[in-house]
Structure 1
Amino acid sequence: MQIKKASFLRGAVGPSQYPDDGFPEIALVGRSNVGKSSLINRLINRKNLARTSAQPGKTQQLNYYAIQSDIAPFYLVDCPGYGYARVSRTEKEKWQAFIEKYLANRVPLVLVLQVIDIRHEPSKDDIAMFNWLMDQDLPVAVVATKADKVPKGKWQAHTSKIMRALDSPKKPLIFSAESGIGLDQLKDLIEELVEPEEVEDIE
């Protein structure tokens, strides 16, 4: 799969702001500062379309990115990070409510990428999110990012810890936004879910 064009569409906090064209959507969830924006930028081969920040919790809405590929148009949807955001409990609960409403009810959603730092065992928030996604019977792929920070010989041990913590038999996709490790596998995964259609491009 080749990305021909990518652009930021809009931030959304409710169904009235979601696109209504029915194109497939791939959501990204993960702890604050786990590398979701970097993953998006590497996938679309752009340096700063998805803005990265040293301040956890900066993303406070569903950020929609319109992607034109040689397969079909689709959206990447970056969800607010969970865990470290320095915001009030009320604000966190508000975020959680609209994120869960989106994930549980969004018909065009074809995949949820749960991004986890390969260097660390999944946190309680990671495990809670994974279990919730499983309970909702959503299609999920765990992406173990920042693989360039760990020697290749230790990848197996780290991914095994992630699998045990999540109680998942499926091996995470090993990825690095810095080096491009796992990029082709991620594109192949997306290509399988974004079916070719004779449709107009996203405006």
Structure 2
Amino acid sequence: MLKVLEKCQFVKSVYKLEEADMPLLPEIVLAGRSNAGKSSLINALTGRNSLAKVSRKQGKTQAVNYFQVNDMEVKFYLTDLPGYGYSAAGRDKQAEFSSLTDNYLESERPFACILVLLDIRHLPTNMDMAMLQWLDFKGLPYAILLNKADKLSRAEQQKALQAIRRVLPDYAQQQALFIVSSLQKETLEPLLSYIRKIVADCNL
């Protein structure tokens, strides 16, 4: 049976960096495009159907959302960053998303890992590649999640994985990579084990 992060609760939404005044805890941060499926993945990892609100309107999430996990010896946050790259939000709003995300990742919060969600059905976009390059330049710990694996057969997943690996730069090739789906619980077991390990190894 999948051992989810069941003792998890929503803490708050932050629209400006200075509003993040909660106690410092290790953070597992989810980053990705507006349609990458971050909210659905949070719900799947915590075994809750509506802990993180899944919006039908892409680009609607404009805040950094905190969810505190309490079922381990080390408490930590699942931190959901605003999605990037959705043009319907408007140029000004996209710039606002970028500013909040950039400022957040520039801060000295205790990041245990940044989970970068990519859609396994498509090659990484220029913005995805820019995010990976930026994380590498800053020396932040990150892993790559190829999400929405339920949309492909096993053979198609492996074909997509090879295509994506071919375009990833060398530094990204060295990072942990997971094929996941919020609808296929068995795909989440390796990711949950990884999260528990890196959080347990945190020294805050």
Is 1:151 the equivalent of 2:156?
no
Q: What corresponds to 1:8 in structure 2?
A: 10
Q: What corresponds to 1:101 in structure 2?
A: 103
State the 1:34 CA deviation.
1.3
Cα pair 1:147 1:181 within 8 Å, conserved: no
Gap runs ≥5 in structure 2: none
Cα displacement string for residues 72-111 of structure 1 (whole angstroms, at most 9, x for unaligned residues): 2110111111112422222211221121111122321111
Q: What corresponds to 2:24 in structure 1?
A: 22
Distance 2:111 2:152 in 1: 32
Q: What corresponds to 1:115 in structure 2?
A: 117
Cα pair 2:4 2:47 within 8 Å, conserved: no
Q: What corresponds to 1:173 in structure 2?
A: 178
Distance 1:104 1:163 in 2: 27
Write the letter of the residue equivalent to 2:7: K
Q: What corresponds to 1:88 in structure 2?
A: 90
Distance 1:14 1:56 in 2: 21
SS of corresponding position for 1:86: helix
How many residues were matched structurally? 197
Cα pair 2:117 2:147 within 8 Å, conserved: yes
Write the letter of the residue equivalent to 1:95: F
Distance 2:87 2:58 in 1: 5
- Assess, with a 3 A threshold, how the Cα gap between structure 1 residues 181 and 85 changes in structure 2: closer, same or farther: farther
State the 1:71 CA deviation.
3.6
Distance 1:196 1:153 in 2: 35
Distance 2:130 2:201 in 1: 34
Question: What is the TM-score normalised by the length of structure 1?
Answer: 0.90
Greater helix fraction, Structure 1 or Structure 2: 2
Q: What corresponds to 1:200 in structure 2?
A: none
Write the letter of the residue equivalent to 1:193: I
SS of corresponding position for 1:3: coil
Q: What corresponds to 2:190 in structure 1?
A: 185
State the 1:196 CA deviation.
7.4
Distance 1:106 1:164 in 2: 33
Gap runs ≥5 in structure 1: 198-203
Distance 2:84 2:100 in 1: 13
Write the letter of the residue equivalent to 1:106: E
SS of corresponding position for 1:32: coil
Cα displacement string for residues 148-176 of structure 1 (whole angstroms, at most 9, x for unaligned residues): 11111222221122222221324620101
SS of corresponding position for 2:7: strand
Query: What is the aligned-residue RMSD (CA, Å)?
Result: 1.8
Q: 1:124 aligns with which of 123, 126, 129?
A: 126
Distance 2:140 2:198 in 1: 13
- Structure 1 residue runs of 4+, over 3 Å off? none
